[in-house]
Amino acid sequence: MLNKYKLILHKPIFLIGFSIILSWIMIALFARVIAPYDPFEQNINNRLKPPSLSNFCGTDELGRDIFSRIIYGAQISLPMGFAIVVFSASIGCIIGALSGFFQGFFDEFAMRITDATLAFPPILLSLAISSILGLGLKSLFIAMTSVLWAEYARIMRGQVLSVKNQPFVEISSTLGFSKIYILIRHVIPNAINPIIIKATLEIGDVILTIAAMSFIGLGAVPPTPEWGAMTLMGRNKFYHWWMMTFPGLAILSVAIAFNFLGDELRDILER
């Protein structure tokens, strides 16, 4: 396993993706230093200006600097993408591990819910949930987490089912360790790999979905410098092409980076 991870460092596509993500993380961390303007500062005299040396990506209809807003946008999209994936993966892992390990009634019940959740196109279920919870990133977070956990639960359950019949689990149970201890110390560490691959692959998709939800008007509310919401602002302004082009390029670069990363990871780990 470790050798496989070492192998990855020699793949150019992986390195490109990795460095793009790393630089976005740096940008998000040091946004205050990098951004030339305050992302919320309005300047009516300077509205809808094309890209120039003072405003690299132009200004929007309220005279805000788009470049600075994109930089601050990284503080929203990236942490939210990570958080949604981590949260839904953890919930899915817990449910999947418990139902695979203990089986019985809980397993039946949990797996029927999982099946039903998976029967919906994810986007529509999250659309329904987030419209009920109201606008805003918080409800988008809840909506997406409550949809995405299901696949992790199913993968985890299958993994646990195959691991738990292996000799080392039986031995530790003969040695008298408690069931919970065995599950946490022996079963889960041996079952977690596919979850990690899937989670890495999913972050890019999730960031794209956050942007898409903001673009259709659910998710980030106006003053927030979210990339999808910024693209929406420039949607009908064909004479002011910079308004939608640059936020879109930001989304594109993040999505490309995660796709590069995930593709190489899958290539190597599934070999």
Partner 1 sequence: MNIRTYIIRRLLFVIPMLIGITLITFLISKFVPTNPIVIIIGEKSLDDPEIVAFVTQKWGLDLPLYKQYFFYIYNLLQGDLGVSFTTKRPVIKDLLDYFPATIELSATSIMYATSVGIPLGMITAYKSGKTIDHIVRLFSLILASMPPFWSGLVGLHLLCFTYDILPGPGRIDNLLNIQHSITGLYMIDTIIQGNFRGFFDVISHLILPSIILGSYITSLILRTTRSSVLEELNKGYVTAARGRGIPESRILCFHILRNAFIPILTVISLSFGKLMLGAIMTESVFAWPGIGCYAVAAAANLDYPAIMGITLLTAIIFIIISFIVDILYFIIDPRICKSNKCL
> Taking the CA atoms of the chain, what radius of gyration do you get in angstroms?
22
CA–centroid distance for 114 within its chain: 20
CB of 246 to partner 1, least distance (A): 10
48: left (phi over 0), alpha (psi -120 to 50) or beta: left
CB of 166 to partner 1, least distance (A): 21
CB of 235 to partner 1, least distance (A): 6
**Residue 190 or 259 having the CB closest to partner 1:** 259
CB of 147 to partner 1, least distance (A): 10
CB of 134 to partner 1, least distance (A): 8
* 141 three-class SS: helix
The H or E element that residue 234 is part of is: none
Which sign, positive or negative, has the C-alpha torsion 89, 91, 96, 97? positive
- Answer yes or no: are the C-beta atoms of 39 and 75 closer than 8 Å: no
**Residue 75 or 245 having the CB closest to partner 1:** 245
176: left (phi over 0), alpha (psi -120 to 50) or beta: left
Please, what's the b/e burial string for 219-228 (b: 16 or more CB within 10 A of its CB; e: otherwise)?
bbeeebbbbb
**Residue 34 or 201 having the CB closest to partner 1:** 201
Encoded one letter per residue, x for contact with partner 1 by CB under 8 A and - for no contact, window 159-178 reads --------------------
Closest CA to 75 of 35, 16, 109, 43: 35
Among 136, 158, 194, 248, binds partner 1 (CB under 8 A): 248
Q: Does 83 bind partner 1 (CB under 8 A)?
A: no
For the chain, the helix, strand and coil percentages under 3-state DSSP, each to the nearest 5: 75, 0, 25
CB of 160 to partner 1, least distance (A): 20
The CB-side HSE value for 70 (13 A sphere, CA atoms) comes to 24
**Residue 105 or 238 having the CB closest to partner 1:** 238
Question: Residue 209 contacts by C-beta under 8 Å, 6 or more apart in sequence?
Answer: 122, 123, 126, 144
**Residue 121 or 167 having the CB closest to partner 1:** 121
Tokens of 165: 């019949």
Interactions with partner 1, residue window 187-246 (CB under 8 A): 204, 208-209, 211-212, 215-218, 228, 231, 234-235, 238, 241, 244-245
**Residue 190 or 245 having the CB closest to partner 1:** 245
Question: Residue 217 contacts by C-beta under 8 Å, 6 or more apart in sequence?
Answer: 135, 232
Encoded one letter per residue, x for contact with partner 1 by CB under 8 A and - for no contact, window 110-139 reads --xx-xxx-xxxxxxx-xxxxxx-------
Q: Does 256 bind partner 1 (CB under 8 A)?
A: yes
**Residue 42 or 259 having the CB closest to partner 1:** 259
CB of 206 to partner 1, least distance (A): 11
Contact positions toward partner 1, by CB under 8 A? 13, 112-113, 115-117, 119-125, 127-132, 204, 208-209, 211-212, 215-218, 228, 231, 234-235, 238, 241, 244-245, 248, 251-252, 255-256, 258-260, 263
